[in-house]
A and B are shown apart, each in its own frame.
Chain A
Amino acid sequence: MSYFFYENVMDHYKNPRNKGKPDSYDTEYGDSNPTCGDNVKIYIKIEANRIKKIGFEGNGCALSMASASLMTEMVDGESLDNALKISEKDLMNELGIKELGPNRIKCVALPVKVLKMAIISYISKQNS
């Protein structure tokens, strides 16, 4: 079955959570998928090493946008350490998707990568 019919995917795609740039944030990161042009940018406000607020902007297929939306929901309020542990597999489980081809997995991987880069760049700034 195509991911198209997963309720969760369509729900997050049509009603994205945490969409948009928050008024204030401590770190941001954006990237795109060269093969398909999906792009995701993430903004995070951090307090005491916890995600206080997270927002995303982006443009792409239903799978990439739903993954980004769901991911922001999953890490909202989490410690940075926990947020760094999230994987494509977690998002797929949550979306109810068992398997994806090598091209489509990139759609799920993009928001995960962007989240991690945003956090890592925050941590390295703190440490320097």
Chain B
Amino acid sequence: MGYIEKNIKDIREDFPILSRPGFIYLDSAATSQKPFVVLEKMDWVYKNLNANVHRGIYKIAEDITEEYERSRKEISGFINASESEIVFTRNTTESINLAAYMLLQKLKRGDRIVTTLLEHHSNFLPWKKIAKIAGLNLELVKVTSEALIDEEDFEKKIENAKVVAFTHVSNVAGTIVDVKRLARKAKERGAFVLIDGAQATPHMKVDVSNLAVDFYVFSGHKMLGPTGIGVLYGKKDLLEELEPPFTGGEMVKEVHKDGQSWNDVPWKFEPGTPNYVGSIGLAEAVRYIKKIGIDQIETYEKKLSEYLLENVGNIKGLRYAGPKNNRAALLAFEIKGVHPHDVAAYLDMKGIAVRSGWHCAQPLQEELGFSNGTTRASLYFYNTFSEIDKLRTALEELVNIV
């Protein structure tokens, strides 16, 4: 037995919401639950240390600034980046939009952007938007019927591409993409590479120093942190070179009527008062994850994932999206003759929280032939094998009713 299995009871007690009687939370891909330490830390900051960050001369203004920058250090260490490479945003979506607007200055009419059919809408629509603004061509790499990136098509499309953006882990199919290898291929062709790590950083070790990427993005709220804090990791040289697309306070050194000088990186990309309490909360979440051990999380979730597939994946009349192995601990599926919302409503009656619909990845689901969308159960390390059993029992009951 691994660390998590041995301590699962204590771990669950760290999460206040998990003590709700009869509540089975299987929607962590949408957002994770939060442990006491994160909530208490943020509460403590608001009660004892609240002042706007940067430039205050009084004591707590200096203390909060130090705490804020310490949170950046903690988070940068978690993905093995340097502090100056961590730009705080609201979430993955804002990070991708920001990166797209940053890259806009490097692109010209006719240039090609490549993303894939595996993407969440947030790694598709921002590219579509800047393509429209600047007259760029956007191409989507195909996926196989098991929702793996079609590598032949990938090789073809990245040729001469200026930007290549793809996900690390699919939020619908659970596909774990070999980002190390694919990013290198794209980088070798001279493209800017962005990886959507929203479903990866909560669950597995990510080391950006080991990846040929220019940008790596993720959301705090999916990894035990609060809502409203996300990260855009960018390579330092590139961040220094790029102009900030958005301007205002905090991001400048000097402003005169006829000119200004931008602040250093990463602050020049953080106009306005940042969500400092959020980033401090996220740093606390990172400490909590480190205490459990990201390797332990990865190992335990691998077992959950296999158990989920073996016990739920084979229910009669159920068809799931994605590969048969090496997948994240989530399962998006349809049940023959039952609308995905009805599946979710039935499970809700049993106290099981899942999500249904398009999961912000309509092109992928349509490609895979799920014309009404799917119902998705997504797990985190605080979930248990017995919760998967309960999911299976409820789904079997449902299949018998309809």
Contacts and interface: CB of A to CB of B under 8 A. Distances in A.
A104 B345 CA distance: 9
A35 B357 contact: yes
A2 B351 CA distance: 11
A77 B109 CA distance: 60
Measured as residues with beta carbon below 8 angstroms from the partner, the interface class of chain B is: 10 to 19
B370 to A, nearest CB: 11
Nearest to B401: A4
Interface stretch (A57-65, A80-88, A113-121): A57-65
A1 interface: yes
Given A60-B339, A61-B341, A62-B342, A37 B373 contact: yes
A35 B372 CA distance: 12
B349 interface: yes
Given A59-B372, A61-B339, A61-B341, A37 B346 contact: no
Contacts of B342: 4, 61-63
A102 to B, nearest CB: 14
B381 interface: no
A4 B349 contact: yes
Contacts of A37: 357-358, 372-373
Which of A62, A63, A104 has the most CB atoms of chain B within a 10 A radius of its CB?
A: A62
A74 interface: no
A63 B342 CA distance: 8
Interface in B336-370: 339-342, 345-346, 348-349, 356-358
Contact of B345 (A4, A35, A38, A60): A4
Interface string A65-91: 000000000000000000000000000
B346 A36 contact: no
Interface in B351-402: 356-358, 372-373, 401
Measured as residues with beta carbon below 8 angstroms from the partner, the interface class of chain A is: 10 to 19
A25 interface: no
Contacts of B340: 61
Contacts of B341: 36, 38, 60-61, 63, 107
Contacts of A2: 345-346, 348-349
B340 to A, nearest CB: 8
A3 interface: yes
Nearest to B348: A2
Contacts of A60: 339, 341, 372
A30 B345 CA distance: 25
Contacts of B401: 4
Which of A2, A35, A38, A59 has the most CB atoms of chain B within a 10 A radius of its CB?
A: A2
B124 to A, nearest CB: 17
Nearest to A14: B402
A62 B349 contact: no
B345 A36 contact: no
Nearest to B338: A62
A18 to B, nearest CB: 20
B401 to A, nearest CB: 8
Given A37-B357, A37-B358, A37-B373, A62 B348 contact: no
Nearest to A2: B349
19 contacts: A1-B349, A2-B345, A3-B345, A4-B346, A35-B357, A36-B356, A37-B357, A37-B358, A37-B372, A37-B373, A38-B341, A59-B372, A60-B372, A61-B342, A61-B345, A62-B342, A63-B341, A63-B342, A107-B341
Given A2-B346, A3-B345, A63-B345, 20 more contacts: A1-B349, A2-B348, A2-B349, A4-B401, A35-B357, A36-B341, A36-B356, A36-B357, A37-B357, A37-B372, A37-B373, A38-B341, A59-B372, A60-B339, A60-B341, A61-B339, A61-B340, A61-B341, A61-B342, A104-B345
**9 pairs of A and B residues whose beta carbons are closest in the complex:** A2-B349, A61-B341, A61-B339, A62-B342, A61-B342, A4-B346, A36-B341, A2-B345, A36-B357
